[in-house]
Amino acid sequence: MNQFAMTIDGKDVQGEMPSSMVLNPANEQQAFLAPMASVAQLNKAVESAKTAYPNWSSLTQTKRDEYINKIADVIELNASVLASIIVEEQGKPTQLAQMEVGGAVAWTRHTASIEIPVEVYEDSENKRIEGRRKSIGVVGSITPWNWPLMIAIWHIIPALRMGNTVVLKPSELTPVNTLKLGQLLQDVLPAGVLNVISGGGDIGRAMSEHQQINKLVFTGSTPTGQNIMQAAATNLKRLTLELGGNDAGIVLPNADLDAITEGLFATAFINMGQTCAALKRLYVHESQHDELCQKLADIATKQVVGDGFGDGVTFGPVQNSAQLEKVIAMVDEANQQGAVIYSGGARLDKAGYFYPPTIIGNARSGMRVVEEEQFGPVLPVIKYKSVEQAITEANSVEVGLGGSLWGDVEQASELASQLECGSVWINGHAEVLPHAPFGGCKMSGFGVEFGLEGLLENSLLQVVNINK
């Protein structure tokens, strides 16, 4: 008996397609069976969202905020069950899963508190021109497998807050926490306001093409983002695309390595490196390369790698076999091309997709692990001779999500604008917050999430010209 169901029109619905097996990455065994939607069920979900839209969008902001705060209450009440599902299907250690759920609550409450100003372009004796914000309609959300609950919240809460109704499709690899969220919210939201359907890439594609979906928010890979953009042309859907990155960090010459190594490690290996804005390439002056690699390796080898439910485990498995294979191939190639493996470097010899945190020294441009996003527990460290060279190499990739500078704050602040990316952190990385906009440039996508700017992406600007 499948205890998890999709939510369509406020009710539990099982999939019309054969259920899909959701694996536990810590043992490669079936953890759950997830329902799979047909395109006809997607159409029903969209129809339900469309029907719910007039009432939801005409509620006062105060009333909608009450609903949104109730969503936060329900997530908080069910935090332990949600965290436990995340560990089982996603693999991260329990403490990190609890942080994910806590983050979902914090983001929800903060988003409900953002003031939405009316912009006044002119207010003269005879004329007033105002910019007002209107909802868009039905918003589609397609989420990935790395932070499944948190990213679902990042998509749906701003959309709901601005008066839109939502159809959400989680990744086939980690759908269960999101299905559970939909079921929990059946008692909170009016029917049709939030529909959750699980399915594969075919359902994602059908959402991108759907004539009745007016905006789509997507977090995932660049190639899928490109497919979505093409398909979205059918009805000129609004898009927010948060795609992959290959974030560079530059350690400035003479940086105090003792002060920054913990931070470098933590931000490169957060969620086993499976984080869009994690630090993925590290540039360090040649005089400090060996020392920094060794210091990072010392932290890496102290990690306790294992099942996320295990006592004291600090480092879980990679989420899926395709991602693990990609990591293995990249590290093996770098090794053959003369890189030095300071820690890790091989899959653990047991069931589960375990790969220990791996520090690769003497990495260089041209190696795949430097040029492409590894999205896993590997950090290549690249030597530079001059800061100019490091910046040129940092900017040499097609993507531009985040970047960081480590060392002297004044020098770093001056250099920040030279990095081609949406967010720059100084003496930090991968820090995303509900009040600061976050988004990428180049092939990392467009649009921002979070803060007022992120909220307004879920609205249309209507300019009202009043001739007094």
Annotated catalytic residues are 242, 276
Q: What residues between 350 and 409 interact with ligand NDP by CB under 6 A?
A: 373, 375
Query: Does 221 sit near ligand NDP (CB under 6 A)?
Result: yes
Query: Does 227 sit near ligand NDP (CB under 6 A)?
Result: yes
Measured CA distances, 438 to 154, 249, 265, 287 (Å): 11, 17, 22, 34
> Residues touching ligand NDP: how many (CB under 6 A)?
27
Which residue, 146 or 303, is less far from ligand NDP as judged by CB? Answer: 146
Query: Does 165 sit near ligand NDP (CB under 6 A)?
Result: no
Query: Does 246 sit near ligand NDP (CB under 6 A)?
Result: no
Which residue, 280 or 295, is less far from ligand NDP as judged by CB? Answer: 280
Strand blocks (E) in 238-391: 238-242, 248-251, 281-285, 340-343, 358-363, 378-384
DSSP 220-279: S-HHHHHHHHHHHGGGT-EEEEE-----EEEEPTT--HHHHHHHHHHHHHGGGG--TTS-
Distance of closest approach, residue 242 Cβ to ligand NDP, in angstroms: 6
Q: Are 265 and 378 in contact (CB under 8 A)?
A: no
Size of the chain, expressed as the number of residues it contains: 468
Q: Are 204 and 142 in contact (CB under 8 A)?
A: yes
Which residue, 241 or 455, is less far from ligand NDP as judged by CB? Answer: 241
Query: Does 230 sit near ligand NDP (CB under 6 A)?
Result: no
Query: Does 70 sit near ligand NDP (CB under 6 A)?
Result: no
Pattern 301-340, ligand NDP, x by CB under 6 A:
----------------------x-----------------
Distance of closest approach, residue 169 Cβ to ligand NDP, in angstroms: 6
Distance of closest approach, residue 455 Cβ to ligand NDP, in angstroms: 20
Largest CA distance in the chain: 78
Query: Does 450 sit near ligand NDP (CB under 6 A)?
Result: no
Pattern 173-212, ligand NDP, x by CB under 6 A:
x--------------------------xx--xx--x----
Q: Is 283 exposed, middle or buried (0-12, 13-18, 19+ CB in 10 A)?
A: buried
Distance of closest approach, residue 318 Cβ to ligand NDP, in angstroms: 10
Which residue, 227 or 337, is less far from ligand NDP as judged by CB? Answer: 227
Query: Does 145 sit near ligand NDP (CB under 6 A)?
Result: yes
> Of 39, 210, 41, nearest to 137 (Cα)?
210
Among 171, 303, 343, 362, binds ligand NDP (CB under 6 A): 171
Look up tokens 């983002």; give the residue: 225
Among 224, 240, 303, 459, binds ligand NDP (CB under 6 A): 224
The total of other beta-carbon atoms located within 10 Å of residue 45's CB is 28
DSSP 305: B
Which of the stretches 78-86, 170-178, 300-308, 419-427 binds ligand NDP when contact is defined by CB under 6 A? 170-178
> Of 127, 341, 440, 384, nearest to 253 (Cα)?
384
Distance of closest approach, residue 310 Cβ to ligand NDP, in angstroms: 25
Which residue, 163 or 220, is less far from ligand NDP as judged by CB? Answer: 220
> Of 227, 166, 231, nearest to 194 (Cα)?
166
- φ/ψ of 444, rounded to 5, equals -85, 5
Rounded CA gap, 335 and 290, in Å? 16
Which residue, 219 or 267, is less far from ligand NDP as judged by CB? Answer: 219
Which residue, 88 or 373, is less far from ligand NDP as judged by CB? Answer: 373
Instruction: Please report, as a single letter, which amino acid is at residue 445.
Output: G
Applying CB under 6 A, which residues contact ligand NDP?
A: 142-146, 169, 171-173, 200-201, 204-205, 208, 219-221, 224, 227-228, 242-244, 276, 323, 373, 375
